[in-house]
Amino acid sequence: MVRSTGTSARRRRGVAVVCALVATLAAPSAYAAQQPAEQARLKISGHETQPVFSRADAVYQQVDIQTEVDSDGDGRRDTVRMRILRPEETDTARLKVATIVEASPYWAGGNDVPNHGVDLDEDGLPVAPQRASGQPGLTGPATAYSGYYDNYFLPRGYAVAQVDSLGTGGSTGCPTSGGRNETLGAKAAIDWLGGRAKGWDPDGNPVRADWSTGNAAMMGISYNGTLPTAVATTGVEGLKAIVPISGISSWYDYYRANGGVVAPGTYQGEDTDVLARYVYSRADREICKPVLDALERDQDRATGDWSAYWDERDYLKDAGRIKAGVFVVHGLNDWNVKTKNAGRLWQALKENHVPRKLWLHQAGHANPMPLRMEEWLRQVHHWFDYWLYDIDNGVLDEPQVDVEQADFSWQQQSDWPARGTRDTTLRLRADGTLGRTARPAAVQSLTDAGRTVPAEQLVAQPDAANPNRLAYTTGVLDKDVRVNGVPTVDVRASLSGTSPYVTALLVDYGRDTRATSGTVTDTSQQVCYGEGVPGTPGETGCAYRSKHAVQTADFKIVTRGWLDARNRVSYAHQSKVVEGREYRLRWDLQPQDYVFKAGHRLGVVLISTDYDYTLRYPAGTTMAVRAGAGSLTLPVAPSRS
């Protein structure tokens, strides 16, 4: 790669990034030509930065930055590669700017890696062959970075940069799926922008960020949205704001749940070692193999217990060190990075008095920008202006939370869950109903068939007899019920057989058209939001809106939760399960914000194996539940006026 004062094409992975950047020649901007010997300044009007700098004339810079770690064990500190676009005036007119950074392990592509087998024998050992994973679950959409950062923010006086995470692209070191080395690798980029780390240009010459104010933000989706939270928990100076979109706050909550081995949605059998092997794209393809083998060993797919391995990958415990303003964004239909990652981060920020903002939308693992383009750009723009340029724009005086409703309208509120939310407990009754009062207890049983039957089939027709599930429903609701927060299940149950899993599914029964996790591009609505680069394909500064993909059906699984019964006392240590002995089992479901409409019924369905998420032991385990002694607790918001 070479250094150029040209422009980039739409930022892509690997060598394509540089080829496009070098291809476009630089030309002096009108702004710079007016004052070549003066110090250029931001233009601030209406309490926000204005687009006065040329995207087409942006300066491209590449730097390799020294980190604090030697994760590949070669005796030299690892380096991360950062590629930067910044206003030309940072070279010609002494302009100093803040930087928006997106760190990612994906810029150089990935490898084809097999997933772990999830069908187990009676001893808990995989019996099915591993299958190819292709792209793992945490990649996120390809448009997460390149769609608007440069076109919108660079003309307003920001540098934009991408960083190759350790073990990927032009960086050295090893990928470890959220390990401490990856955090410190991305942190080094923030340190270099603040003058605290060494960097070299492609010719090996030392280089400093003399154009940088030292202030930076981090932003991205999925893995790219996980690294901002990780870096912020180091307390690094200069990181003023982060926008984690569908990001992980604890890797345990991505690959495990309550002592169980649980997959990200639609990626059964993936784990930290699979993901690390997928992103391992640095030039030396041998040096990290011992590190990757250690990941496979230490992640422990036999028990799913909490351990030092997961503690290293838990960012929540260090939330009190965050100095940045945090704008959390998550899809309510995201079953890849499950909503628990956003919910627990939001709560940790509150407990540690970290300035915060939240968006919850109806899509899944998706970029929210095209869903609500103008408002998204306004809020993110003001978030960055406030934290990076100290512009008093009132962003902290606005409601903290934006929640997209089932009808795709948006509601603003002061916190989440909504103020006034109270727990409502419903009893699981032997007649298959849910109600406020208990009825005489009776033991009811199900036979596990989840190894071959998906949960969507097991929850259908709740009033029909089905030996493979226990279903409990309310009567027809006479008014809307908004559940927002973390539902919990509490039952007395016994297990007889090989599967230790118990699963609860919260279901909305009633024919309706509802959002799915997908989005659809609306090619009839294009919005131009920023400055394009003439003659460069893809660099138009425009994008199409998106709308939600919907499905009409008789029911929807609203949320779900899992427990390994051996971890009923602690998710860090197993306790023996004696066949036929009744235990109290309590566990949480994934946080949700959902309105059960009047005329529908609310239901909870209990099964053992969850085909798409848990490990699958041989079918036939019997689960006996003492109805009348069990309950479902829901966080219910007050009725709207």
d(CA 17, CA 70): 27
365 counts as catalytic: yes
Question: Which one from 330, 365, 381, 382 is the annotated catalytic residue?
Answer: 365
Residues of 263-297 as b/e, b for ≥16 C-beta within 10 angstroms? bbbebbbbbbbbbbbbbbbbeeeebbeebbeebbe
- One DSSP character per residue, 391-425 reads ----GGGS-SEEEE-TTS-EEEESSSSPTT-EEEE
As beta bridge partners, residue 495 has: 623
As beta bridge partners, residue 423 has: 635
Question: Which one from 222, 246, 249, 546 is the annotated catalytic residue?
Answer: 222
Please name the residue that has the structure tokens 């040329």. Answer: 54
d(CA 288, CA 166): 11
Q: In what order do the strands lie in the sheet with 401-404?
A: 199-200, 59-66, 79-86, 158-164, 97-104, 212-221, 239-245, 325-331, 356-361, 401-404, 410-413
- One DSSP character per residue, 162-218 reads EEEPTTSTT--S---SS-HHHHHHHHHHHHHHTT-S-EE-TTS-B---TTEEEEEEE
334 counts as catalytic: yes
Residue 126 burial class via C-beta count within 10 angstroms: exposed 0-12, middle 13-18, buried 19 and up = middle
Q: Which residues contact 602 (CB under 8 A, 6 or more apart)?
A: 434, 473, 474, 477, 481, 506, 507, 508, 509, 596
Helices (DSSP H) in 233-313: which residue ranges? 252-255, 272-279, 289-298, 308-312
Amino acid identity of residue 1, one-letter, is: M
Could you tell me if 589 and 610 are in contact, meaning their C-beta atoms sit under 8 angstroms apart?
no
Could you tell me if 608 and 502 are in contact, meaning their C-beta atoms sit under 8 angstroms apart?
yes
d(CA 315, CA 271): 18
Pair type for strands 442-447 and 434-435: unpaired
Q: Which residues contact 160 (CB under 8 A, 6 or more apart)?
A: 84, 85, 86, 99, 100, 101, 102, 149, 150, 153, 154
Question: Which one from 334, 385, 593, 612 is the annotated catalytic residue?
Answer: 334
Token pair of 81, please? 């590669």
d(CA 416, CA 411): 12
Q: For residue 383, what is the enclosing H or E element?
A: helix 373-389
Find the helix packing angle between 272-279 and 289-298, rounded to 10°.
160
d(CA 532, CA 530): 6
Which DSSP state fits 151? I
Token pair of 558, please? 């609203």
Token pair of 114, please? 């097999």
Q: What SS3 class is residue 224?
A: helix
Residue 537 burial class via C-beta count within 10 angstroms: exposed 0-12, middle 13-18, buried 19 and up = exposed
Q: What SS3 class is residue 328?
A: strand
- One DSSP character per residue, 435-467 reads ESS----EEEEEE--TTTS-HHHHSSSTTS--T
Catalytic site residues?
222, 334, 365
